[in-house]
Structure 1
Amino acid sequence: MRQTSEAEYAEFARSVWPQLYRTAVVIVGDRQLAEDLVQSALVKTYVAWPRLREPAKAHAYTRRAMVNVARDWFRKRSWTHENTTDVATEGAPSTDHSAALVDRVTLADALLTLPPGQRSVVALRFLDDLSVQETADLLNITTGTVKSQTSAALAALRSHAHLLPEGSHHD
């Protein structure tokens, strides 16, 4: 790879890491696994970098690689013993904001109760702000499946709203 391509790739990787990592944490429910997931996706992107000329295409390629690696992991492993603390404390404030932290822990716990497919749809639709069509294309499912997975996931998450402290959520 040319020197300029190396520098462009390094800048790209630095710029997309935070968003990919945040999405990966929600999808796999574990910070260390999320780091591995993003690293795997970035390695795949590095190999394909000479073919990826536009940053938007590179980002989409990396996101797809990340989702595909996650899907493979879900197929190979049992995800019944996930660590909710990792998701709950991700990005938690360093000062004492106990109500916000309780909300985060509750949301993290609720997200981890979702099946992997629903978690992936929620992460891509609401964290990455992808459309129904973009999410369907990325996950290789129909738009109807994205809509039904989103609906089921949101209903499940709403069922946990009663656990939040009074006044901390909006109906």
Structure 2
Amino acid sequence: MSPEDEREFREFVTTRSAALLRVAYLLTGDVHHAQDLLQTALLGAVRRWAAIRHREHPEAYVRTAMYRHQINRWRLRSRRPETLVPSTPDRAGGDDHATDTVVRHGVFEALRVLPARQRAVVVLRYYEDRSEAEVAQLLDISLGTVRSQASKALAKLRAAYPDLAGIPTSMRSAP
């Protein structure tokens, strides 16, 4: 790797790691697995950085690598039973930081109860605001599967967490 490539890659990692880690966390539901997932994707990117950096969006390459690595993890491991949370946190009145934190925690907990594929579809479709076609391409599934998985996931979230339906969109985003 040339010194210029190394400098550009370090700059990329420094500026984009926080956002990439948030997405990895939403995909995995665990901070340690998220760090591993991001590290794996960045390791693949550094090996091909000379070619990737000339692309218009190197971050898209890393995100796609994360999605695909996570899909492979889901496919390889046996299905883990769902873990239901005992209850959602009560919402306090007012627009303070504590309320925002409780709401975000509730959203993260809600995502954790979804099966892996549904979680991936929800994260890509609604957190990253990607089209159904983009989600289908990234996850290597059909457009119909994206639609059905999103529908099932949203129904499950609405049933399990009715309090989240009235939360303003700005408060649902990741910290």
- The amino acid that maps onto 1:113 is V
- 1:161–1:169 CA contact under 8 A, matched in 2: no
Which of 161, 167, 170 is the aligned partner of 1:169?
167
Q: Distance in 1 between matches of 2:8 and 2:122?
A: 31
Q: Which residue in the other structure is 1:88 paired with? A: none
Q: Distance in 2 between matches of 1:131 and 1:14?
A: 28
- 2:111–2:119 CA contact under 8 A, matched in 1: yes
Q: Which residue in the other structure is 1:70 paired with? A: 70
Deviations 1:80-111 (A, max 9, x none): 487x8xxxxxxxxxxx7443333223222211
Structure 1: gaps spanning 5 or more residues: 85-95
Structure 2: gaps spanning 5 or more residues: 86-95, 169-175
Deviations 1:110-164 (A, max 9, x none): 1111110011111112222221111111101112211221111111111133356
- 1:103–1:168 CA contact under 8 A, matched in 2: no
Q: Which residue in the other structure is 2:134 paired with? A: 134
- 2:41–2:69 CA contact under 8 A, matched in 1: yes
Q: Distance in 1 between matches of 2:30 and 2:81?
A: 12
Q: Distance in 1 between matches of 2:128 and 2:15?
A: 14
TM-score normalised by L of structure 2 = 0.77
Q: Which residue in the other structure is 2:55 paired with? A: 54
CA gap 1:40/1:103 in 2 versus in 1, 3 angstroms: same
User: 5 Å matches for 1:83-122?
Assistant: 97-122=97-122
Q: Distance in 2 between matches of 1:34 and 1:48?
A: 22
Q: Which residue in the other structure is 1:151 paired with? A: 151
User: 5 Å matches for 1:33-44?
Assistant: 33-44=33-44
CA gap 1:147/1:81 in 2 versus in 1, 3 angstroms: closer
Q: Distance in 2 between matches of 1:36 and 1:24?
A: 9
Measured after TM superposition, the shift of residue 3 of structure 1 is: 0.8
CA root-mean-square deviation = 2.5
- 2:41–2:65 CA contact under 8 A, matched in 1: yes
Q: Distance in 2 between matches of 1:153 and 1:67?
A: 18
User: 5 Å matches for 1:10-25?
Assistant: 10-25=10-25
- 2:121–2:135 CA contact under 8 A, matched in 1: yes
Deviates more, 1:38-47 or 1:136-145: 136-145
TM-score normalised by L of structure 1 = 0.79
Deviations 1:39-89 (A, max 9, x none): 100000111111111241x2222111111211222233354487x8xxxxx
Q: Which residue in the other structure is 1:4 paired with? A: 4
- The amino acid that maps onto 2:134 is E
Taking every aligned residue pair, what percent have the same amino acid on both sides?
Answer: 37
